[in-house]
Copies of this chain bind each other. A is one copy, B any other.
Amino acid sequence: MAVTQKVDMDGKPRVVIMNVAMHLFGKQGFNGTSMRDIANAVGLLPGSLYAHIESKEALLLEMVTDGIGRFLAAVEPHVACSVSPLDRLRQMIIAHVEVVADNPERSQVVFHQWRFLSPEHLPEAIERRRRYETCFVEVIEEGVKAGLIKSDLNHRIAVLSLLGAMNWTPEWFSPDGRLGAAQVGDLMADTLLGGILS
């Protein structure tokens, strides 16, 4: 017997494990997910995972690093774009929602589980998150200088509100909902940018 279920072992095993772990980390959290949970979901015994990965934290590290990377890759190109700051912001919001929509669970990990990285890897994750937020700060400040955005409200609060709304999207966005990512992003931009116009 020994059925050797290669259940969904179509791709490279490491990728399969990463995807399964991403799903579980996103849903149950890093500390709420055991290696046995992962092994179980992937159709392996716990020890067998270590033929493909180095440690539990290595999984988290790759998820977070690569995850933030996707947001940066999607948003940063718009920062120095040649269109108006407001249009840039709108495009950045849409890009952000599209990354969330591509995999809401990964986004949950990126936004909530980075805390559980070891002290060794934590600082870099924090730094990259800060770099992401800076993208939005820069464009907003440029909009203020161009006279397109009110300067009488605290920019910091505006940015934090904007980012808060965006970072919360993985909590409710459903890839099989009626609205697609780009439409959701566009509507969010309507809501979020309307209040900062001058």
Contact = CB atoms under 8 A, between A and B. Distances in A.
Contacts of A188: 157, 161
A180 interface: no
A190 B153 contact: yes
A29 to B, nearest CB: 6
Interface string A4-26: 00000000000000000000000
Q: Secondary structure of the A side of the interface? A: helix
Contacts of A153: 187, 190-191
Interface stretch (A54-62, A66-74, A165-173): A165-173
A80 B153 CA distance: 29
A126 interface: no
Contacts of A154: 179, 187
Interface residues of A, number: 35
Contacts of A161: 165, 188, 191-192
Interface in A140-195: 153-154, 157-158, 160-169, 171-172, 179, 184, 187-188, 190-195
A50 interface: no
A128 interface: no
A197 interface: yes
Contacts of A179: 154, 157
Contacts of A119: none
Contacts of A31: 29, 31-32
Nearest to A193: B195
Interface of A: 28-29, 31-32, 112, 115-116, 153-154, 157-158, 160-169, 171-172, 179, 184, 187-188, 190-197
Of all A-B residue pairs in the complex, the 3 with the closest CB atoms, nearest first, are A194-B195, A164-B168, A31-B31
